[in-house]
Structure formats: structure tokens, C-alpha cells
Amino acid sequence: LLYERHGEPPAVVQLKDLEAAKLGDSDVHVKMLAAPINPADINMIQGTYAILSPLPAVGGNEGVGEVLEVGRCVEALKPGDWVIPATSGLGTWRTQGVFPEQMLLKVPSDIPVLCAATLSVNPCTAYRMLADFETLAPGDSVIQNAANSGVGQAVIQIAKASGIKTINVVRDRPDLPKLVERLMALGADHVVTEEMLRKPEMKDIFKSIPKPRLALNCVGGKSTTEMLRHLQPKGTMVTYGGMAKQPVMVPVSAFIFRDMRLRGFWMTQWRKDHEQDQQSVASMMDALCQLIRRGHLTAPACTEVPLQDYKEALEAAMKPFTSSKQILLL
């Protein structure tokens, strides 16, 4: 799926037949199996993301493929292995591709294909935010907005497996009871709407669990300011998205009297910073795959779409209140 200029998908995206590149000595020929449509993929096509691929570009930053053939200098991969992108900008919305070995990460092929296809962005983001900003112990709690997003669903499950309680904020919507039920089934401890953050009932939640030391923000605007009020003094709020397209507003008192820390996180940057540190990448992937194998981490709610129906998939991915991730089957 190719775009030759930036603009609104699906209008600027087209399905094209291209010759696969020649296999170099350090290259790997991959047959793609499945690739999701993430918000960042849409933003890259629109030309509004922090990093853009040189045009013309193949869409998609995430997915899983099977190795068909390897160049003669490739040692870590062999035909039949499953691989996911090691960096962004790989262009995963394609049936086949030839990529340099260092752009791929091997993953076990005994995990479900949808878990592998959605592994490199959202679960990694969730894992790092839970691990890198506050030292959380079983019984501690975390509060997050956009709790039904791909990252939100991963945070709920990874936290649950570690004995950490989650307070999950979602926007009010027509099918709210259904969404609450789904998040509780994943292991959420509490699900509240943005409006409830302002209500006295929040005090009841903190009778049974401690106030959170960590807040994860993917929205911005009012939702974030309200969430911050429930953080413990010296707590940390990590912003990793801005779905409301509004700034993060923080009262001065939160800094002076409660010494709040505001941090940011971008998985792409973390990968760049850890290019030479393959150990930390491997241990994260290993931990996530173990959770998947034990049934503690599942793929987000997905809708599987054949590649030729990409227009419908792109349109569905851009609708508000989407609770299902579009996955292209390749």
C-alpha cells in the first residue's frame, strides 16, 4: 500500500504491484502475515507525525512476517522464522519485502499471529511506561486515560500480572457498560468516565487501593488535569499521546505543593536510544512473549481485513470511539 504524497487516507493511498528488491548478502526476504493500522501510521500518511518516511512510501510501522529466504551473511534468522520490525518506518502494509537484517527482530512463532502483529508498538510502550518512571510494587496503583486504546489494554494486563491496580478512565459513550465489562474482563480494577474524575465517588475507590504514583496520559486537555488531582505527592505523569489535540494544563500548586513530575515517552525514541543495548530489547520482548504464552496478555480487540479492502479498514481506523484495531491480513 503506497502513498506518493501526504494527505488524507484512504484518498492518497493506493494498492500497487511492485517487484521485490534483490536479496543482498545481509538482507532477509519476508512474507508479511498481518499488520495493524495504528494512529501513528495515519499521522505519517497525513504528514503530521514527528518522523516521516521519504516519499513514495509504503504505509505501516508494525506487523509480523515469516522469513522466506536470507542473504549469505545473515546468521540470526533462517527461513520459517517469524519477524517484526526493529524500528519504525519499515512499511509493513505489503505482501512481501526485502529488508536489512538489522531492521528485524525475531519473535517466537508459537504465539498467536495477532499478538505478534501488534507486539512492537503498544505492549512495548505499556511495558516501558510501567517499568521506567516509578518503581511500582504489588498493591501499588496506576491511573490512565484512553484505557480502551491498544496501549491502555496492554497496561491493564501487564499491571494485573504484576499485582498492580489500575484505575482506567474512558470517555462516556453509548455502549459504556459493554466497554466497562470488556476492560474488567482484561483485569481492570476500576473503570471511570472523565466526568467521574471530578465526583466525590472517587474517594470510595481510594478506600480500597492507594492513590496512584503513576499516571499515563494519551489525551491531554481537561482529562489530564483532572487525572493529575488524584496522583500522590511526588507522583509522575507520563504523556505518550494527545488525542484531544489540547495542551496539558497543570495548576502551579501541583508543582509547588505536591512536587509533581511531568515526563514524556515515545517508543520510537526509546528504540533509537537502545540500538546498542540489545539486552534490554531482548529482555522486554521475552517478558512480553512469556505473558502472551501464559494467557496474561492478549491482542487488543481486532477486526481482521483482507488487504484489498484497505479503504474500508483505513476509514474504520479513523472513526471516533473505535474500540477495535483494524488488522490487514496479508
Give 150's contacts (C-beta < 8 A, 6+ positions apart): 38, 118, 121, 122, 300, 325
- Per residue in 31-49, pLDDT tens? 999 999 999 999 999 999 9
> For position 23, what pLDDT does the model report?
96
Residue-level pLDDT at 301: 87
Among candidate residues 3, 148, 150, 157, the one with its CA nearest the CA of residue 62: 150
- Distance, in Å, from the CA atom of 49 to the CA atom of 89, rounded to the nearest integer, reads 11
Domain ranges across the chain: 2-118+299-329, 125-267
Cα(212)–Cα(174) distance, rounded to whole angstroms? 28
Q: Give residue 223's pLDDT.
A: 87
As to burial, measured by CB atoms within 10 angstroms (0-12 exposed, 13-18 middle, 19+ buried), residue 243 is: middle
* Spatial distance between the Cα atoms of 310 and 16, rounded to a whole number of angstroms: 12
Compute the distance between CA of residue 92 and CA of residue 33 in angstroms, rounded to an integer: 9
pLDDT value, residue 128? 98
Q: Specify the pLDDT at position 244.
A: 87
Q: Is 49 a catalytic residue?
A: yes
The superfamily (CATH) of domain 2-118+299-329 is Medium-chain alcohol dehydrogenases, catalytic domain (3.90.180.10)
Q: Which of helix, strand or coil describes residue 278? A: helix
* Whole-Å CA distances, 114 to 10, 90, 166, 325: 23, 18, 25, 11
Task: Profile the chain (330 residues) by mean pLDDT over runs of 10 residues.
Answer: 95 93 96 96 94 95 97 96 94 96 94 96 97 97 95 97 97 92 97 93 93 96 92 97 90 95 96 91 96 96 94 92 87
Handedness of CA 48, 52, 58, 62 (dihedral sign): negative
How do residues 294-303 score in pLDDT, each as one tens digit? 999 999 989 9
**Which class in CATH covers the domain with range 125-267?**
alpha beta
Of residues 49, 127, 240, 310, which has the active-site annotation? Answer: 49
pLDDT at 20: 86
Q: What is the pTM of this model?
A: 0.93
Tell me if domain 2-118+299-329 and domain 125-267 are identical in fold.
no
Residue 33: predicted pLDDT: 98
